[in-house]
């Protein structure tokens, strides 16, 4: 009898791998019955990752979105699954254990059946809490191995992780090939080894199209015993996203597997609806290059979702780099040349940082370090001159054990800075915090919500939740959308007075304060001057003292808060932006003397 392969539609990740936002709850409710009518899916990825944060950034309630989006699938027996980042849960930085535990209880009550949990470093200690928490909360525990290709990422290496998480009680294993660079034969061997040693463990494969390996990988893991394959559908498939279900279904059917038929009328309707969501507003935030495959990813291994931000970074730095090259009497470089140079720098940096799998957030750390190295070397300066706090925490072991050894030059930098390596359990460094957030809810007079879901959102995404409650988030999104439409040439309906702000003359301010250093933001987003203040807050006053290396403000990006640090110890002599003002990466917002 033919072995059956089942499909999971990655409707969340399709959008997340394409752009900044995901559909709103009304749109998700509209397409859910059509996805059901397609008849070929046993699972749908509904939430997790940045889904909850994106809803908060819309100014809408993510708890309502999850409940109403999962309900139609629950009703017909299609399993729903979410993605969570182990120690980081649903955000980009570590989460206390009691908040992580509450997450599984909340998501299970909201209708999410499976918790797909991954650690970007494949540290089983970071996954233990995920397995135990998911099972205790009433969910199926699926541990995802962050797949990459390196000398240290062998079948034996991954089986060491599998042994531990099976010991903890996980039900399933996912091969999370987030950059699509896992070699097909290797993935087949790994799947076969898992099924041989643990025949009761369900195996699911998740592979982005990226460099083009994933179709072959799907055939290999199916032949080796995998039960589920993750797929996408047009118009959000291929490129940096995932293969389309039609191709994979036809391939597996021809190979002798039992697969469900696709209702093509429903497929075309789901395709049409998805396109209407793109046309409505989501397309304004989709990076066009994400529709393109690239064999260059074979070498650098960056996941598809990073390509858009990487190109945006390069565009921002391009002019400054060429100015520096002109000043040195050197030939300028094109953006394409710069992109290839960055790919090569990633290849240089990655092994020296211990081969962390290039998945959120470690892909950002490696990419950012490579970008700063490139900036410095093109200026004739040494590598490693700029290593941000999060990357250094990774180097020090505060987020888990790196798969490979650090290069001697990195160890020397740690010694020069007088820092110490951390060998403890990463979770231990982040004590429980729920009582603090319970008190906040009382102080604000906010309801904890059904099954404590509102308490959970505050504890998981405090800043974004407060902005949602105050209405700032909704206003910010509307401005973001207007700006995107304007850039695309679409008409804008002005709904509020437009106030022209005087242009900031950087050169004039620099001349006025020759000993001052500029404060530059590190990401595109909105300024948050006071992190712990809910209402509109003012910028620091002229004359306020600041300390070098300490945060002077923050930038609210779509993925979280980015610190903006003081460049020197001194006082503020000029401030250009107000709370919630839109800023671009590398924009100067103040001067410190």
* DSSP labels, 283-343: GGGB-GGGGS--TTHHHH---HHHHHHHHHHHHHHHHHHHHHHHHTT-----HHHHHHHHH
- Tokens representing residue 320 in the block: 């400054």
Beta bridge partners of 525: 583
Q: What is the pLDDT of residues 154-193, one digit of tens each?
A: 999 999 999 999 999 999 999 999 989 999 999 999 999 9
C-alpha angle 228-234-238 in degrees, rounded to nearest 5: 70
The pLDDT of residue 492 is 41
Alpha carbon separation from 142 to 85, 132, 186, 197 (Å, rounded): 12, 11, 21, 17
CB 341 within 8 A of CB 335: no
CA 62, 77, 41 angle in degrees (round to 5)?
Answer: 85
Question: How large is the angle between the packed helices 462-470 and 51-58, nearest 10 degrees?
Answer: 30
Pairing state of beta strands 517-520 and 588-592? antiparallel
The pLDDT, as a whole number, for residue 495 is 39
Rg value, the chain, Cα: 24
Q: What is the pLDDT of residues 378-415, one digit of tens each?
A: 888 899 998 988 899 999 999 999 999 999 999 999 99
Please give the pLDDT value at position 341: 87
The Cα 234–Cα 569 span in angstroms is 53
Token duo for residue 92: 């980009």
Which residues, at least 6 apart from 389, have a Cβ–Cβ distance to it below 8 Å? 563
For residue 519, the SS3 value is strand
CA distance 313 to 35: 36
Give pLDDT, residue 342: 85
Q: According to the model, what pLDDT value does residue 330 have?
A: 86
The end-to-end CA distance of the chain, in Å, is 77
3-state secondary structure of 448: coil
Residue-wise burial string across 354-377, b where 16 or more C-beta atoms lie within 10 A, e elsewhere: bbbbbbbbbbbbbbbbbbbbbbee
Query: In the 8-state DSSP scheme, what is residue 385?
Result: S
d(CA 483, CA 479): 6
Cα–Cα distance between 152 and 161 in angstroms, integer?
A: 13
> How far, rounded to the nearest angstrom, does the alpha carbon of residue 505 sit from its chain's CA centroid?
35
Matching residue, tokens 């070397």: 377
Residues of the chain with pLDDT under 50: 491-503, 531-537
What 8-state DSSP symbol labels residue 256?
A: T
Q: How far from 502 is each of 505, 541, 568, CA to CA, in Å? A: 9, 19, 27
pLDDT value at residue 376: 87
Sign (positive or negative) of CA dihedral 228, 232, 233, 239: negative
pLDDT reported for residue 500: 36
Q: Please, what are the domains in the chain?
A: 297-426 (no CATH), 506-592 (2.40.50.100)
Tokens representing 277? 């969501």
């Amino acid at each position: 009898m033919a072995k059956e392969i089942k499909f999971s539609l990655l409707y969340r990740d399709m959008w997340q791998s394409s752009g900044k936002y995901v559909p709103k709850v009304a749109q998700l409710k509209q397409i859910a019955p059509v996805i059901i009518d397609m008849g070929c899916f046993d699972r749908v990825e509904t939430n997790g990752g940045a889904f909850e944060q994106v809803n908060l950034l819309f100014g809408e309630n993510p708890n309502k979105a999850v409940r109403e989006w999962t309900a139609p699938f629950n009703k017909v027996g299609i399993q729903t699954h979410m993605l969570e980042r182990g120690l980081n849960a649903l955000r980009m930085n570590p989460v206390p254990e009691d908040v992580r535990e509450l997450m599984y209880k909340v998501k299970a009550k909201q209708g999410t059946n499976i918790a797909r949990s991954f650690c970007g470093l494949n540290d089983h200690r970071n996954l233990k809490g995920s397995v135990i928490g998911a099972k205790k909360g009433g969910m199926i525990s699926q541990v995802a191995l962050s797949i990459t290709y390196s000398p240290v990422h062998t079948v034996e290496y991954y089986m060491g992780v599998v042994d531990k998480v099976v010991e903890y009680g996980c039900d399933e294993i996912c091969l999370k090939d987030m950059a699509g660079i896992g070699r097909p034969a290797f993935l087949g061997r790994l799947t076969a080894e898992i099924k041989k040693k643990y025949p009761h463990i369900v195996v699911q494969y998740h592979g982005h199209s990226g460099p083009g390996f994933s179709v072959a990988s799907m055939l290999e893991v199916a032949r080796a015993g995998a039960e589920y394959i993750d797929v996408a559908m047009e118009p959000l498939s291929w490129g940096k996203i995932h293969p389309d279900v039609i191709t994979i279904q036809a391939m597996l059917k021809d190979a002798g597997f039992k697969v469900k038929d696709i209702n093509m009328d429903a497929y075309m309707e789901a395709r049409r609806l998805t396109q209407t969501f793109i046309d409505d507003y989501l397309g304004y935030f989709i990076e066009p290059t994400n529709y393109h495959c690239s064999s260059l990813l074979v070498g650098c291994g960056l996941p598809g979702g990073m390509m858009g931000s990487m190109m945006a970074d390069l565009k921002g730095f391009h002019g400054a780099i060429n100015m520096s090259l002109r000043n040195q009497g050197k030939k300028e470089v094109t953006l394409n040349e710069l992109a290839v140079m960055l790919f090569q720098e990633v290849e240089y940096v990655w092994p020296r940082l211990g081969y962390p799998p290039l998945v959120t957030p470690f892909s950002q750390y490696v990419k950012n370090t490579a970008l700063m190295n490139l900036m410095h070397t093109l200026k004739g300066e040494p590598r490693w001159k700029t290593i941000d706090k999060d990357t250094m925490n990774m180097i020090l072991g505060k987020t888990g054990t790196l798969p490979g050894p650090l290069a001697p030059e990195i160890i020397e930098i740690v010694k020069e800075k007088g820092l110490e390596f951390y060998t403890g359990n990463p979770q231990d460094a982040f004590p429980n915090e729920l009582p603090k957030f319970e008190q906040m809810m009382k102080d604000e007079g906010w309801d904890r919500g059904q099954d404590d879901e509102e308490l959970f959102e505050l504890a998981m995404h405090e800043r974004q939740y407060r902005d949602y409650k105050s209405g700032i988030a909704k206003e910010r999104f509307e401005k973001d959308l207007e700006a995107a439409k304007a850039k695309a040439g679409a008409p804008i309906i002005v709904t509020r007075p437009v106030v022209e702000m005087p242009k900031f003359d950087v050169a004039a301010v620099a001349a006025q304060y020759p000993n001052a250093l500029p404060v530059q933001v590190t990401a595109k987003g909105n300024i948050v001057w006071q992190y712990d203040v809910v209402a509109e807050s003012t910028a620091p006053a002229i004359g306020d003292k600041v300390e070098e290396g300490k945060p002077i403000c923050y930038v609210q990006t779509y993925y979280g808060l980015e610190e903006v640090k003081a460049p020197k110890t001194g006082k503020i002599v000029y401030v250009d932006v107000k709370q919630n003002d839109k800023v671009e990466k590398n924009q100067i917002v103040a001067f410190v003397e």
